[in-house]
Structure 1
Amino acid sequence: MNMKLNPGWLGVVGFCMALSVQAQEVPTDFTTQVPLSLSGEGPWYRLSLPLDVQLSARQTDLGDVRVFNGNGEAQAYSLAREQAPDGDEGVLNEVKWFPLYDSADARDGVPGVRVQSSANGTLVEVQPSSQLEAGEEVLRGWLLDASAIKAPLQQLILDWTSERDGFQRFSIEASDDLQRWHGWGEGQVARLSFADERVEQHEVALPGQRARYLRLLWQAPETAPALTSVQLKSASSSAVSQPLVWSGPLSGSRLRYGEYTWQLPMGLRVERVEVELGEANSLAPVTLEGRRETSLPWQTLSSGLLYRLTQNGQDVVQNQLQVPGHVVQQLKLTVDERGGGLGAEAPKVRYAVRSTQLVFLARGAGPYTLALGNATVKAANLPLATLIPDYRPERLTTLGQASVDGGVAVTQATELAPSAALATNWKKIGLWAVLLLSVVFLAAMAFSLLRKPPAKS
């Protein structure tokens, strides 16, 4: 059967396609628009989303994030978060540790060592690089062998002999070859007598990166203790975690004496909380709880000892709690008041989440704009393996860089007025009406052609 479409029907179909194009997303569909600047080699560009920009989203999973070019055309993009799912408590690993000795007067420098290792990099022996006389050697710190752990390191857990009570402060460095070392910050552990009880802090948070070896150097060499146990908690996944990004100070409220709460702007996978300790000589055993919304029960996230104490004219501060990365929007801190409490007003807190990397394929002319803030749109991100052919995780660091132009200032677009929202709805309703009408017309045309008697030969 030979069927020909009437030009009138073709006009209806073309009109429907035009309406479909007009209904595509545009930057003004989103409440927040942030200009971007590009550097490096494209066409793929990687953007670390600042936390205050993320908080402008209307969807917890960032499903309303978009990138537009200078013509207002949406760009193909992917989100790389690589964060542990809820309930991932990590894996505890027992590791070997080796003492680092140096002469008593060598306070500034790093102890020189001779290292013997096996073929796979496991340490067998660590000795001082020069022979020290009896009485000259001082224990400066410890070298930890993490070569058997292939996943990112999240936490260091130490125990030490009882004659070294009080605070232990040390620097943490990481290396893969025992030659080049890079800093991982400072660690603090403590064992104190408190209100007829023993208060102990054994855990130190690590940045969630991989390393074969860790070096711990005590700031005051004569106080380095003899370790009795060393454990490293690693992530269950071997993926390299994104760095942490911190919020600004967040004010809270007091429920009752010793209980404080804070409301986060949206549900977030919080991995660390920092409590402001405004007064010197503060000591507070605490329990931190969280929940997604008011109707749900509180769940314990972490507990520990917070302190700000003055020793030898310097403040010794431990004001952070590591939490497992569950999605929470409310936090509650319960303080053991026997330590003096944290005051009548709720202290300010800061929270940290894993950085989110947005990768997009630049198409068309710039300038490019990041847009977010729409509760109704559907997520449009692609898997990285789809966005970038032959994608490998190590390739992520070689992509061009995108950054928020002019700092992290966010330009809030005017909220859609009721009339504009109504117009958008009418446009969608009209589009569907025309599409349905087109289907009816096409069905009627097909029916009429089928009923038409065949032409006589």
Structure 2
Amino acid sequence: MRPSALLLVLLLALARPACAAAPVPGDFASGLDLPGAADGGAYSVALPLAVYEQLTRDDLADLRVFNGAGEVVAHALRRPDPADDRRETRRDLPFFPLTTIDRPARDDLSLRVRRDRDGTVLTVDAGRAAATAPTAYLVDASRLDTGLDALELRWQGSSQALCTVQVSQSDDLARWTAAAPPAVLADLEADGQTVSRRRIPLHGRVPAYLRLDAPDCADRFALRQVTAVSGAPTLPANRLVLTPAGVDSRGPERQVDFSLPARVTVRSLQLLLPAAAGAVQATVLSRPTESEPWRTAHTGLFYDLSLQGRRLLNDPVVCAPTTDRYWQVRLHADRGGAAAAGRLGLEVGWQPDQVIFVGRGPGPYTLAFASRRLDPRSSHGDGLLLGALDATRSTALIRPIEPGPIRVLGGEAALRPVLVASWTTLVLWAVLIAGVALLGLMARSLLKETRKPPSP
């Protein structure tokens, strides 16, 4: 056999097992136990931050689900939708002032309410003759047929209003429970800056009636509009606090740089100022790599104020979902030096990806991740799995699993790349070797011709 052909056969023999062999748990650096998973069930697991910090591929293709026999189980990756199609709907609600004598406790209010047959409030009598100003309001939400994510209030009176409002809920006007923690609302203006906070976050439930209590600011809390907000973007529960990676104060604007420890999907932003330090006008920007241009995520006012013994903090900003790792804050105006170098932080709210899988075979099941031993062309899961679950209307049967602690599988050895030759690569090498061999044969033939003695 010629040397070139022998070399080609050896390459095929070495590369073939690397291409054909199915991955095993030892091919991955780490793993998470999936307690409760069993044969035939459908499950989901939200990826914790520690998984993202170890993954070697941005498309999350270096993770697999294994059963107790070490066999790969088909899985699919459900990523956060980059286009959040939730749109806010708004509807004004009828409300009625409630007055009390000498401002007794909330539960001592004496109400006479007249309703029609479907529960809609027609009139409210709360003892107006003996009171001077309302300290509470009854809101009729009985005809609201969508989820109630927030209340937005507008009131008359001083532009320097600052009130603490407690929202209670009831279905029968007799038993009241808190619908949300007390909210500080504000309508402030100073030095050309305006702080307006009129929204009270709720939790999607639609009670028949709401009660708004603000006994400490009755003279500044004359309501003129109550709006129900439905479909408001949901703030992610996972939060990550970033510390400055660098500060540039050479230009007219101070620039503070941050970086994420992993590529997660960011959905909300909050500047962290020293407690009760003041307000800053800032632009938050992001980019996926250090060489790409910055893109604006949000421009606006961020504040952390202490007024009349109450803390007033701006709500987190909902931004377009992004997996950018590099962030920058540009400060246009800083009232009181609140964002001095080293005193500014950035908190991002992020939404995890979900791994969906259907149990097959014995347990226990393991989510293995972080590997450089896989074929680079391998995908991040079976895209048909989610389609099949949707088509059979089985998505409601998917049970979430809380993963166990991270444990070592293949360790650092799984993060060292191995040679995985593809057929295209082998063909190219074969052509190159054949060309070199052909050139060698031609040179040898020419050499023989030049060494022949001249003919007589």
**Normalized against structure 2, the TM-score is what?**
0.69
The aligned counterpart of 1:244 is 236
Contact 1:107 1:221 in 2 (8 A): no
1:243-294 residue CA offsets vs partner (Å, 9 max, x unmatched): 7232342112323264322112344432222333334343334433333334
Equivalent residues of 1:277, 1:308 under 8 A apart: no
Q: Does the C-alpha gap of structure 1 residues 23 and 305 become closer, same or farther in structure 2, counting only changes over 3 Å?
A: same
Q: Does 1:90 align with 2:83?
A: no
Number of the residue aligned with 2:42: 44
Distance 1:70 1:129 in 2: 68
Which whole-Å CA distance do the structure 2 matches of 1:55 and 1:343 have between them?
30
* Cα separation, 2, equivalents of 1:386 and 1:182: 42
Does 2:397 match 1:405? no
Q: Does 1:163 align with 2:164?
A: no
Query: After the TM superposition, which residues 388-403 of structure 1 pair with which residues of structure 2 at under 5 Å, given as runs?
Result: 390-391=392-393, 395-396=396-397, 399-403=398-402
8 Å contact from structure 2 (residues 37, 364) kept in 1: no
The one of 276, 282, 295 aligned to 2:278: 282
1:327-368 C-alpha deviation (Å, 9 max, x unpaired) = 432333333213433222152232112354433212222222
Number of residue pairs matched?
400
Does structure 2 conserve the Cα–Cα contact (< 8 Å) formed by 1:289 and 1:301?
yes
Q: Which of 255, 275, 278 is residue 248 of structure 2 equivalent to?
A: 255
- Residue 446 of structure 1: aligned partner: none
Q: Which amino acid aligns with 1:30?
A: F
Query: Take 1:37 and 1:173, find their aligned partners in 2: how far apart are those partners?
Result: 39
Partner of 2:325, secondary structure, is: strand
- C-alpha distance in structure 2 between counterparts of 1:150 and 1:61, whole Å: 37
Amino acid at match of 2:93: K
Q: Which of 349, 353, 369 in structure 2 is aligned with 1:352?
A: 349
Deviation, 1:378, is 0.9
Is contact 1:156-1:204 (8 Å) kept?
yes
Aligned to 2:21: 23
Q: Is the 8 A contact 1:164 1:225 kept in 2?
A: no
> 287, 294, 297: which one pairs with 2:294?
297
Please say if 1:369 is aligned against 2:366. Answer: yes
What SS class does the counterpart of residue 274 from structure 2 fall into?
A: coil
Contact preservation (8 Å) 2:76, 2:380: no
Q: For residues 169 and 386 of structure 1, what CA distance do their matches in structure 2 show?
A: 50
- Which one has the largest radius of gyration? 2
Q: CA deviation at 1:180?
A: 8.7
Letter of the 1:73 partner, please give it.
Answer: E
Question: How far is 1:380 from its partner?
Answer: 0.9
Q: Is the 8 A contact 1:70 1:368 kept in 2?
A: yes
Between 90-99 and 171-180, the greater mean CA deviation after superposition:
171-180
Distance 1:292 1:111 in 2: 59
Separation of aligned partners in 1, 2:81 and 2:205: 15
Aligned counterparts of 1:40 and 1:180: Cα–Cα separation in 2: 44
SS at match of 2:134: strand
Aligned residue for 2:98, secondary structure, equals strand
Pick aligned residue for 1:384 from 369, 383, 386: 386
Spell out, residue by residue over 1:142-178, the C-alpha distance to the aligned partner (whole angstroms, 9 max, x if none): 637496564784x654432242624333345678998
Query: Residue 130 of structure 2 aligns with which residue?
Result: 134
Please give the alpha-carbon distance, in whole angstroms, between the structure 1 residues aligned to 2:51 and 2:209. Answer: 35
The SS at the match of 1:222 is: helix
CA contact 1:33–1:413 (8 Å) conserved in 2: no
CA contact (8 A) 2:370 2:414 kept: no
C-alpha contact 1:140 1:218 (8 A) present in aligned 2? yes
Identical residues among aligned pairs (%): 19
- Read off the aligned partner of 1:48 and give its amino acid letter: A
- Mapped to 2, the partners of 1:221 and 1:168 lie a distance apart of 7
- The secondary structure found in structure 1 opposite 2:241 is coil
Question: In structure 1, what is the equivalent of residue 451 of structure 2?
Answer: none
Counterpart residue identity of residue 34, structure 1: L
Match of 1:448 in 2: none
Unmatched segments (≥5 aa) in structure 1: 1-14, 437-457
Q: Deviations over 1:281-314 (max 9, x none)?
A: 43334433333334123214252332131533x5
Q: Say which SS state the counterpart of residue 363 (structure 1) adopts.
A: coil
Contact 1:307 1:319 in 2 (8 A): no
Distance 2:148 2:78 in 1: 17
Shift in alpha-carbon separation, 1:68–1:249, aligned structure 2, 3 A: same
Equivalent pair of 2:120/2:142 in contact (CA under 8 Å)? no
